[in-house]
């Protein structure tokens, strides 16, 4: 008997919405990454994209525990000499709150082509509004622990 492998065209992908207000960044990102990969499904296959679409609203209201707002540093490099820039989490949340959540989820996914495709199914918005009402997203309760 062989293990059934799901057909990529027959996978039923759902849309979920997550409200990031007062949620801890890392705990929320682990559950989002798991949903994007499809690990919650009984037909999970590591080499196929079986995950769902996730919409995150109120990204600007996400919380970080401890002293991470000032101690966590985000680095970027342009590729040129002296081209390294850095900013702490507080500055990043003020300037680009979507990027904070996207980086947290991206770093929890495997580092390959499949993960880059899965990350495209993550839609993040700083405020409470999003343009995906036509997909009829369901509310996803992300637990605190």
In which residue are the tokens 């949903």 written? Answer: 35
CB atoms within 10 A of CB 97: 21
Q: How far apart are CA 26 and CA 50, in angstroms?
A: 23
Q: How far apart are CA 121 and CA 109, in angstroms?
A: 13
pLDDT tens digits for range 4-50: 888 989 899 999 999 999 999 999 999 999 999 999 999 999 999 99
Q: What is the pTM of this model?
A: 0.92
Give residue limits of the domains in the chain.
Answer: 14-65+97-128
- Beta-bridge mates of residue 19: 57
3-state DSSP assignment of residue 28: helix
Residue count of the chain? 145
pLDDT tens digits for range 47-66: 999 999 999 999 999 999 99
- Whether the per-residue pLDDT at 79 is higher than 70: the answer is yes
Q: How far apart are CA 14 and CA 54, in angstroms?
A: 9
Task: Provide, rounded to the nearest whole percent, the portion of the chain with pLDDT above 90.
Answer: 89
Task: Provide, rounded to the nearest whole percent, the portion of the chain with pLDDT above 70.
Answer: 99
Is CATH 3.90.1180.10 the classification given to domain 14-65+97-128? yes
Both tokens of residue 121? 């199914």
Q: How far apart are CA 82 and CA 77, in angstroms?
A: 8
Q: How far apart are CA 17 and CA 77, in angstroms?
A: 33
């Amino acid at each position: 008997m062989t293990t059934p492998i799901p057909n990529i065209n027959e996978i039923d992908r759902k849309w979920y919405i997550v409200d990031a207000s007062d949620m801890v960044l890392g705990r929320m990102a682990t559950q989002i990454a798991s949903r994007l990969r499809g690990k919650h499904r009984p037909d999970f296959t590591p080499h196929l994209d079986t995950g769902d679409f996730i919409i995150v609203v109120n990204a600007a209201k996400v919380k970080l525990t401890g002293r991470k707002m000032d101690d966590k540093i985000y680095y970027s490099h342009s590729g040129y000499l002296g081209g390294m820039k850095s900013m702490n989490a507080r500055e990043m949340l003020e300037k680009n709150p979507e990027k904070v959540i996207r980086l947290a989820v991206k770093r929890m996914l495997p580092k390959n082509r499949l993960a880059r495709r899965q990350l495209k199914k993550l839609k993040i918005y700083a405020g409470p509004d999003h343009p995906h009402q036509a997909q009829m997203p369901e509310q996803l309760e992300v637990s605190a622990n």
